[in-house]
Amino acid sequence: MLVVQKYGGTSVGTLERIQNVANRVAKARDEGKDLVVVVSAMSGETNKLIEYAHHFSKNPAKKEMDMLLSSGERVTAALLSIALQEMGYDAVAMTGRQAGIVTDTTHTYARIKHIDPKPIKEQIAQGKIVIVAGFQGINEEGNVTTLGRGGSDLTAVALAGALGADQCEIYSDVDGIYTTDPRIEPKAKKLDTISYDEMLELASLGAKVLQNRSVELAKKLGVKLYARSSFSDNEGTLITEESKGMEEVLVSGVALDKNQARVTLRGVADRPGIAAEIFNKLAEENINVDMIIQNVGTDGKTNLGFTVPQSEIDNAKAVVASFGEEIEGADYDENVCKVSIVGVGMKSHSGVAAKAFSTLAENNINIQMISTSEIKVSMIIDEKYGELAVRSLHAAYELDK
Amino acid sequence: MLVVQKYGGTSVGTLERIQNVANRVAKARDEGKDLVVVVSAMSGETNKLIEYAHHFSKNPAKKEMDMLLSSGERVTAALLSIALQEMGYDAVAMTGRQAGIVTDTTHTYARIKHIDPKPIKEQIAQGKIVIVAGFQGINEEGNVTTLGRGGSDLTAVALAGALGADQCEIYSDVDGIYTTDPRIEPKAKKLDTISYDEMLELASLGAKVLQNRSVELAKKLGVKLYARSSFSDNEGTLITEESKGMEEVLVSGVALDKNQARVTLRGVADRPGIAAEIFNKLAEENINVDMIIQNVGTDGKTNLGFTVPQSEIDNAKAVVASFGEEIEGADYDENVCKVSIVGVGMKSHSGVAAKAFSTLAENNINIQMISTSEIKVSMIIDEKYGELAVRSLHAAYELDK
């Protein structure tokens, strides 16, 4: 059985914690597993290096940043390998380059182009535990690249895919995916299993555990992902393909995103292409639009609503202003939040969304915008009702049972 | 004019000092020089990483140590490049691998096998200031290697040789090579010029500034070396080939080595090969023998004297004991030191050594052992007279003038 494990920055944040990871790896080895272990930089290291760079420049060159930032993972990989060797285990540390990870040339946010599985396979064939410095690769010019935030997760998932690993275990300080944020609803329950798609829709619940890029890649490569804590022996949550059993559950989780601002454009000229123009302009300005709602117009005019991160509302206002008289009026609300229910069961059950609407109505919470996908219903509401909405929905779908 | 500069750990020990180095590099650039800048890890970084490794193992694997320790220089190289770019200079940071440095496979003490000058030459041709992470390369298997203590000096000298640089400037917190240790003789004077061979013989004077391996390599490759301070604008000391002018100076410097212990073997069987056996045995035990004196024997017996580092005297005693009756008796003295005078002028002037002996005699300092080379006279004396001997000899050869 070949397992790829990945330990995040908090899990390797001190020398004692690295020893703890070594003990966990050794235990898995004793169970007869072949192991590839991907590590992050010790927590705080990457931020320290970024601060160093910003001492010299507000906008340091990305190529230099990659050489700088890739050093932290190398340190952890070498230390973990040393710890395992001292315990009598045959370990070998490899950089991203040595592990065969080739990326494109987009420095600081590179994409993995391909992985040559041979170097790691050779080491495994020799009975070694392979420790890989996460978050990094080299491009075809031989320059060091890094994969962006959450990059070590990507390294782990990509290696699991390339090596045909049986499973990929992502260790952090959180022991799995919960039905909602336990800080909001103490009755939140850890999920045993969740589908890739649900996980992607529940990004805000899993953000501390798994980045969306990694879940997407795991889905694409069919990698069985476990989200686990390196500080406990709990089973964690398995993120995998949809199964029959999952569909019996109407809703898997409730997510809250408070970083939302609403924009409503009234009386938009109802000519072909106007929406495209507006959203292209927003994209050009690097404004991330989340929900978009458009109703059928009357009198040659239509209303258009969308949400953006709160930090980008001023830029969004500027874009709207640039359309002049093509838009009659606009109003903005920075005091909104998005509450979402997610579940693959929605596909095969009716009335799931209606239950959400009535739950909020019972609590006198007005819904400003609604957006639905196959497995998600998202609602924009007044920010101050966010936590109440989460708790009400959590109870309504009996997620605490 | 192509110049290789190397800045040591103290010179890049803080972010402010890295900025100071950037300013110096920029100044050299403004003077129209093509520049390759080799940097060490920020002072303290390498020791911190070694401590980390020793937390896990007393004897960590050397391959892992190389991955670990090579990270510090990468950080400095990236930061210096960022600082220069911010100042508007076109800089590029390279790892040892990217700079084309290929070593043998001796981890933690690798030797440079060859350097491919192409990658750096291409960058220089594009007008870039090339910043190279010192102390590291890769071997032919693609693994990271490091060059041992003083390795960044070696990187600089080897690059200067491979690139045919006009000169190689080694920056530290010391502004050159002095006629003797200024802590012993405040009248010590900085030398403008010194030959490679004198520098090698004066190792103890230059140890903080230049490691012998680098001086040897500079001599082999004919690289003009400057030892300078990164904290002042002093000219420093040029280490170069012997020249006519140098020979007019009888003595260039006086060195003191207090880490010496004397071993004298009496009545050694005077048969062929006995000395070889003794010194082979010492070598097998990794005991570094420094001076060796043997006198012509009488009665089929001879006396043999040598010195070893004080820390190795117990091991030396054990080796001597293993020769049993082939050695009549031995005495040991750990309270000795070695004082040396060095100068290429000795070759062409007589009476230089005699003056040293009479100077010590005038001060009632007894000479226990003498050893001479073409350009050096070394004397073993009672340790307590070490400083007095240095000051007397410094005055006798008028080094303070």
Radius of gyration of chain A (CA): 23
Instruction: Report pLDDT for A346.
Output: 86
Residue A40 sits in the same domain as residue A139: yes
Q: Which two tokens stand for residue A318?
A: 């500027």
The answer to whether B240 touches B196, Cβ cutoff 8 Å, is: yes
Query: CA-CA distances (angstroms) from residue A189 to A192, A260, A388, A394, A400?
Result: 9, 26, 17, 10, 6
Indicate the SS3 state at residue B190: strand
Residue B85 sits in the same domain as residue B230: yes
| Position A11 pLDDT exceeds 90 | yes
Higher pLDDT, B359 or A268: B359
Residue B59 sits in the same domain as residue B32: yes
End position of a domain, from candidates B203, B220, B241: B241
B144 vs B147: CA distance, rounded Å: 10
The H or E element that residue A237 is part of is strand A237-240
Indicate the SS3 state at residue B109: coil
The answer to whether B112 touches B103, Cβ cutoff 8 Å, is: yes
Whether A28 is covered by a domain: the verdict is yes
Whether B248 is covered by a domain: the verdict is no
Whether B352 is covered by a domain: the verdict is yes
Q: Which of B64, B81, B97 has its CB closest to that of A64?
A: B81
Residue A168 sits in the same domain as residue A60: yes
Indicate the SS3 state at residue B281: helix
Helix axes B45-56, A15-30, angle to 10 degrees: 40
DSSP label at A310? Answer: G
Q: Which two tokens stand for residue A327?
A: 């838009």
Residue B187 sits in the same domain as residue B309: no
The answer to whether A115 touches A221, Cβ cutoff 8 Å, is: no
Per-residue pLDDT of chain B (401 residues), as tens digits, is: 999 999 999 999 999 999 999 999 999 999 999 999 999 999 999 999 999 999 999 999 999 999 999 999 999 999 999 999 999 999 999 999 999 999 999 999 999 999 999 999 999 999 999 999 999 999 999 999 999 988 999 999 999 999 999 999 999 998 999 999 999 999 999 999 999 999 998 876 666 778 888 999 999 999 999 999 999 998 999 999 988 777 788 899 999 999 899 999 988 887 778 888 889 999 888 888 888 888 776 777 888 899 999 989 999 999 999 988 888 889 999 999 999 999 988 888 888 899 999 999 999 999 999 988 889 999 999 999 999 999 999 999 999 98
Q: Which of B68, B95, B133 has its CB closest to that of A79?
A: B68
Whether A246 is covered by a domain: the verdict is no
Q: Which of A68, A78, A83 has its CB closest to that of B67?
A: A78
Instruction: Specify which of A241-245, A295-299, B229-233 reaches the highest per-range mean pLDDT.
Output: B229-233
CATH number for the domain harbouring residue B272 = 3.30.2130.10
**What backbone torsions phi and psi does residue B178 show, to the nearest 5 degrees?**
-105, 160
Residue B101 sits in the same domain as residue B141: yes
B242 vs B344: CA distance, rounded Å: 8
Instruction: Report pLDDT for B207.
Output: 62
Residue B257 sits in the same domain as residue B198: no
How far apart are the CA of B75 and the nearest CA of chain A, in angstroms? 5
CATH number for the domain harbouring residue B78 = 3.40.1160.10
**What backbone torsions phi and psi does residue B302 show, to the nearest 5 degrees?**
-140, 160
B130 vs B93: CA distance, rounded Å: 6
End position of a domain, from candidates A128, A152, A173: A173
Whether A46 is covered by a domain: the verdict is yes
Q: How confident is the model at residue A4 (pLDDT cuts 50, 70, 90)?
A: very high
Indicate the SS3 state at residue A67: helix
Nearest CA in chain B to A84: B56
Torsion angle of alpha carbons B196, B198, B200, B202, nearest 10°?
Answer: -140
Q: Which two tokens stand for residue B134?
A: 């010192």
| Position A206 pLDDT exceeds 70 | no
- How many interchain CB pairs under 8 A, A with B? 111
How do residues A19-34 score in pLDDT, each as one tens digit? 999 999 999 999 999 9
B93 vs A93: CA distance, rounded Å: 24
Residue B234 sits in the same domain as residue B334: no
Instruction: Report pLDDT for A396.
Output: 95
**Region for residue A371 given its phi and psi (left: phi exceeds 0; alpha: psi -120 to 50; beta: otherwise):** beta
Residue carrying structure tokens 């220069």? B84
B207 vs B211: CA distance, rounded Å: 6
| Position A208 pLDDT exceeds 80 | no
Residues of A in contact with B82 (CB under 8 A): 53, 56-57, 60-61, 64-65, 68
Residue B102 sits in the same domain as residue B198: yes
Instruction: Report pLDDT for A363.
Output: 95
Q: Do A71 and B74 touch (CB under 8 A)?
A: yes
Question: What single letter denotes the amino acid at residue A82?
Answer: I
Residue B304 sits in the same domain as residue B166: no
Residue A291 sits in the same domain as residue A162: no
Whether B152 is covered by a domain: the verdict is yes
Q: Which two tokens stand for residue A387?
A: 């936590």
For chain A, the domain total comes to 2
Q: Do A85 and B57 touch (CB under 8 A)?
A: yes
Whether A235 is covered by a domain: the verdict is no
Residues with Cβ within 8 Å of B72's Cβ and at least 6 positions away in sequence, in order, are A71, B40, B41, B42, B45, B46, B49
Q: Do B57 and A81 touch (CB under 8 A)?
A: no
Instruction: Report pLDDT for A207.
Output: 63
A52 vs A48: CA distance, rounded Å: 6
How far apart are the CA of B114 and the nearest CA of chain A, in angstroms? 19
Nearest CA in chain A to B58: A86
Instruction: Report pLDDT for B195.
Output: 94
Whether B308 is covered by a domain: the verdict is yes
Nearest CA in chain B to A72: B71
Residue B258 sits in the same domain as residue B229: no
Q: By residue range, what is the domain housing residue A265?
A: 253-396
End position of a domain, from candidates A142, A173, A204: A173
Residues with Cβ within 8 Å of B48's Cβ and at least 6 positions away in sequence, in order, are none
Residues with Cβ within 8 Å of B38's Cβ and at least 6 positions away in sequence, in order, are B4, B5, B6, B7, B132, B133, B134, B152, B155, B156, B159
Residue carrying structure tokens 């009488």? B298
